[in-house]
Structure 1
């Protein structure tokens, strides 16, 4: 079965259930925490795929992965995943839930990636610009530092992306000179 389809089905069901409980906002925040912790601890995925780990241990592992009290909707979602042996899709489900939540509540995610940490003033200027451009929408800002872009920035607003990174420029120069294999 298609991983994207599995993730969408489970995420959709979890979103509907959490909305019925009036806990969609809380589950969304927990999914964001889970994503941060999942990335920070690569061994988590290995542990979830371990056939020797009991369903109870997997539930405990996924519950503690968010770092706060999980809540009813989150726990029931985890139990359903484990019962149906879908724990290997937990990250995809988490990402899909966040995407569906933002779509349902009209939230635009703005992600700015820079090679170095930006000053508070620079981040505020970017946020002000985006808020003026998308005045009728809720906006969620994410700033990420990635030294591999060397310099400049990559700005993602929803599905649009502006790549003004030095790495992109170097790649374009390399392609123009026939050196694309080196980048």
Structure 2
């Protein structure tokens, strides 16, 4: 069993419990936003991630740091959840738990997550048109776009939804032409 699937197996019950509590308290969207913000903070601060992952640092010190850092920044519900993760020595799984929570909440709300790579930044109107097309394509009620800039695409975009990839990039078209010409 791979390390990633083991982490996922440990994280899923925490994510499910958090989602269940969020449903009961009508906080699904708020908690999702807070967890996204926390993921952002952790991706920008490697020192904080190392601090939280370090088993030699006492849970009390970790709680104190998170309280000072996140108080009035995130919902009290989320902060208490993080403190529970510290008590159970699972705070190092916060990234996986947050990602699983978001994944489960998107399924619950019939939201599809589409990873979009573009050569240039899309305008609001272009994003809205893309969302509309993806809703039709997937049959979901909502589509959340995760935007990335990839200058290697030359022009156009690629969309990844789960394991399905839609390549509408100039780079992809050129590769198709090259493949076609090489097989003739």
Task: Give the TM-score band, short-chain normalised.
Answer: 0.7 to 0.9
- In the alignment, which residue of structure 2 is the partner of 1:5? 9
Deviations 1:10-30 (A, max 9, x none): 101111112222222211111
* Aligned-pair CA distance for 1:76: 2.2
- In the alignment, which residue of structure 1 is the partner of 2:85? 81
Question: Which among 50, 53, 65 is matched to residue 49 of structure 1?
Answer: 53
Q: TM-score under structure 1 normalisation?
A: 0.76
Gaps in structure 2 of 5+ consecutive residues: none
Q: Which moved more, 1:83-92 or 1:38-47?
A: 38-47
Counterpart of 2:74 in 1: which secondary structure?
coil
Counterpart of 2:147 in 1: which secondary structure?
strand
* Aligned-pair CA distance for 1:56: 3.6
Asked if residue 140 in structure 1 is aligned to residue 155 in structure 2, the reply is no
CA change 1:30–1:157 in 2 (3 A) is same
CA change 1:91–1:63 in 2 (3 A) is farther
Aligned length: 178
Q: TM-score under structure 2 normalisation?
A: 0.76
* Aligned-pair CA distance for 1:75: 1.9
- In the alignment, which residue of structure 2 is the partner of 1:20? 24
Counterpart of 1:17 in 2: which secondary structure?
helix
Higher helix share: 2
Would the aligned equivalents of 1:34 and 1:65 in 2 still touch at CA under 8 Å? no
After superposition, the CA RMSD in angstroms is 3.4
Counterpart of 1:2 in 2: which secondary structure?
helix
Q: Which moved more, 1:53-62 or 1:27-36?
A: 53-62
Q: Which moved more, 1:4-13 or 1:54-63?
A: 54-63
Gaps in structure 1 of 5+ consecutive residues: 177-183
- 1:26 and 1:120 map into 2 onto residues whose CA distance is 23
